Amino acid sequence: MNLKEIARWNVRVSLVYALGIWTMLGTYGFFQLKKKREQAIIGSSAEDSAAATYQEELQTNVEPEKKTKKEFVDTNVVLKENFVPFSSRIYSYGKSVFGDSSDTSTEERNSEK
C-alpha cells in the first residue's frame, strides 16, 4: 500500500465517522425538539393535575404499603459430564494460538533436570 492509498482510506474513514456523528447529533436534536413540542401541546394542565394529585396524596397521610413477603431467587445449576465452561475453552484457545513462553521455559528446565 502506498502513501496515496493510505491517504484515500483516511479520507473515507473520516467521512464515514463524520456522517455517523452528525446523524447521532441530528437524531438527538430531533427527539429533544419533538419532546418539547409534545410538552407544549399537553400544556401546563397536565403539570397542574399532577401537582394537585401529589398534594392530595400528602394530605390523606396514607401509610405506604409495608412489604411483608420476602422474595428469593432460586438457581439450579445442572452439571453435565465432561462439560468444559466457555471461558475455559476461550482461555485454552488463546493460550494455544498466542503461546505461553513461561510454560515452555519451565518444561525445558524440568526436562533438563
Q: Tell me, what's the pLDDT at 11?
A: 93
**Distance from C-alpha of 29 to C-alpha of 37, rounded to nearest angstrom:** 12
The upper half-sphere exposure of residue 71, i.e. CA atoms within 13 Å in the direction of its Cβ, equals 2
Query: Rounded distance, CA 108 to CA 24, Å?
Result: 56
Look up residue 38 and give its DSSP letter: H
pTM (2 decimals)? 0.34
Condensed to tens digits (0 to 9), the pLDDT of residues 64-102 reads 556 566 777 788 878 788 888 888 889 888 888 887 655
Residue ranges with strand state E in the chain: none
In this predicted model, which residue has the larger pLDDT, 30 or 113?
Answer: 30
Domain positions in the chain? 3-62+82-112
